[in-house]
């Protein structure tokens, strides 16, 4: 329908008299709301199982209230006095009151654990102080020092000031082998205590090496899968997928049997006369065993993306290049290889990210010298109970992965990524 106005344009309306533009906008709004309701369950699932845990990790990496919640009076003294102030009678009185209250609430060990993260050996000092706190009487400075002379250590007071705030960047500093001195300045930890930076470098170097090895081994296999007749290609694909049908723990244990000093590989080499019985190779509890086992486990994740981009490439492209005078190498390098870049990028990212986060295989096959940063994160979560440091390490790892995505997007383009 249409209303014709003598002084204006024709106004289109619906059968019930509403303007057509308004009716279309309302219909589009209803369609968008229906579409949103359809994806809402998936959105909630992603938020609850992915985004919320990441947010919790980020928060945990900078928040630890174990000391501030259980020692509030000494925290207030630190807030009222600048760095460098000598602990006076008021400071020791606040410490004594906090020790008494924490001992009564049975949380003195929790406060001591937070200090122990920065100054190992102090948890027992706090628990012992909590047991004797009831006997403390003025003058508190003399009473506390008589209880244990370690309470007068300026380094201890510097650490207590440092942990008196619930929000801190100290765990990020510890994750890159830095710390704060008693004056609050950021310095490197002693050389014999520098662990994390070297472990990060080892993790990224090993992940890059595993990615390159998987590419070298997987490219020919993917090429064969793409050019063989279907009946042979299907058989080869079954062999590629076979590891997915076997438990990861079983595969890792099998590599332990194969690679150990008296294992199958060494025994075959000795039997063939290649090695002497005294010259067996050390291929387990080191980086070699970790690289071999992880390459085997992650190789299918490289082959499948490569196969997905190689299969649709028409063979006539390379034949046309050859007919125009290109050599086999030139045809491969300038015609075939550029078309496989999306698969190489997808497989490389997939293998690298998975290898960075692996911890079961390095823990079983690599031993102490073949472990990665993920093993140390698991240690802080399960054994040392330092969840904040584990969260800081995980956050740095996440930031490194996001940086890798950004670099790939800038150099290649994330829109060219192809997984299948």
Tokens 């692996």 label which residue?
358
Q: What is the pLDDT of residues 332-389, one digit of tens each?
A: 889 888 889 888 988 998 899 899 988 888 888 887 777 788 888 988 888 888 899 9
Terminal CA-to-CA distance of the chain, rounded, Å? 50
**Measured on CA atoms in the order 109, 115, 121, 122, is the torsion positive or negative?**
negative
Tokens 């090695």 label which residue?
275
The tokens of 199 are what?
A: 């472990």
| HSE, side-chain direction, 13 A CA sphere, residue 30 | 6
Instruction: List, in sequence order, every residue forming a beta bridge with 167; answer none if it has no partner.
Output: 63
Distance CA 280, CA 276 (A): 7
Distances (CA, A) of 127 to 1, 107, 132, 157, 386: 86, 9, 9, 17, 18
Distance CA 313, CA 308 (A): 10
pLDDT in tens, the chain (420 residues): 445 544 556 666 766 667 777 778 888 888 888 988 998 998 999 889 888 988 998 999 999 999 999 999 999 999 999 888 899 999 999 999 999 999 999 999 999 999 998 888 899 999 999 998 888 888 899 999 999 999 999 989 989 998 999 999 999 999 999 988 777 788 888 888 888 999 999 999 999 999 999 999 999 999 999 888 888 888 888 888 888 888 888 888 888 888 888 888 888 888 888 888 888 888 888 888 889 999 999 999 999 999 989 988 888 888 898 888 888 888 888 988 888 988 898 899 889 989 998 888 888 888 777 778 888 898 888 888 889 999 999 999 999 888 888 887 777 666 666 555
Q: What is the pLDDT of residues 201-233, one digit of tens each?
A: 999 999 999 999 999 999 999 999 988 888 888
- Locate the domains of the chain by residue range: 2-62, 66-168, 196-416
Residue 111 is predicted with a pLDDT of 93
The tokens of 76 are what?
A: 């207030």
| CA-based max dimension of the chain | 107
The tokens of 407 are what?
A: 């670099």
**Residue 167 CB contacts under 8 Å (≥ 6 apart), including other chains:** 62, 63
- CATH of range 196-416; options 3.40.50.300, 1.10.3720.10, 3.20.20.80, 3.40.50.880: 1.10.3720.10
Distance CA 156, CA 136 (A): 20
């Amino acid at each position: 329908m249409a209303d014709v106005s003598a002084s204006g344009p024709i106004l289109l309306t619906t059968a019930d008299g509403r303007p057509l533009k308004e009716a279309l906008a309302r219909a589009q709004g209803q369609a968008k709301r229906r579409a949103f309701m359809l994806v809402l369950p998936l959105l909630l699932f992603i938020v609850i199982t992915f985004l919320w845990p990441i947010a919790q990790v980020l928060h945990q990496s900078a928040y630890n209230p174990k000391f501030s919640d259980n020692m509030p009076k000494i925290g207030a003294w630190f807030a009222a006095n600048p760095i460098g102030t000598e602990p006076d009678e008021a400071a020791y009185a606040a410490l004594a009151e906090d020790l008494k209250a924490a001992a009564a609430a049975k949380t003195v060990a929790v406060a001591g654990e937070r200090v122990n993260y920065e100054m190992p050996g102090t948890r027992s000092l706090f628990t012992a102080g909590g047991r004797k706190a009831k006997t403390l009487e003025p003058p508190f400075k003399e009473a506390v020092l008589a209880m244990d002379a370690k309470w007068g250590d300026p380094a201890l007071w510097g650490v207590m000031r440092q942990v008196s705030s619930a929000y801190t960047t100290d765990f990020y500093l510890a994750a890159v082998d830095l710390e704060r001195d008693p004056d609050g300045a950021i310095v490197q930890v002693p050389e014999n205590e520098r662990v994390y930076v070297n472990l990060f470098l080892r993790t990224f170097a090993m992940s890059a090496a595993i990615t390159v090895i998987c590419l070298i081994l997987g490219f020919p296999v993917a090429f064969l899968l793409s050019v063989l007749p279907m009946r042979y290609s299907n058989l080869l694909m079954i062999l590629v997928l076979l590891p997915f049908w076997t438990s990861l723990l079983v595969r890792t244990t099998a590599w332990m049997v194969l690679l150990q000093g008296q294992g199958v590989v060494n025994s075959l080499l000795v039997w063939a006369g290649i090695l002497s019985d005294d010259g067996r190779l050390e291929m387990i509890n080191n980086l070699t065993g970790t690289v071999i086992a992880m390459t085997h486990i992650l190789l299918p994740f490289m082959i499948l993306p490569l196969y997905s981009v190689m299969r649709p490439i028409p063979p006539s492209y390379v034949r046309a290049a050859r007919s125009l005078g290109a050599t086999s190498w030139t045809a491969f390098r300038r015609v075939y290889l550029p078309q496989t870049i999306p698969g190489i990028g997808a497989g490389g990212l997939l293998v690298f990210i998975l290898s960075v986060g692996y911890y079961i295989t390095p823990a079983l096959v690599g031993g102490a010298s073949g472990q990665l940063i993920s093993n140390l994160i698991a240690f802080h979560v399960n054994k040392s109970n330092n969840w904040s440091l584990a969260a800081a390490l995980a956050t740095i790892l996440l930031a490194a992965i996001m940086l890798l995505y950004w670099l790939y997007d800038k150099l290649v383009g994330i829109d060219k990524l192809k997984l299948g």
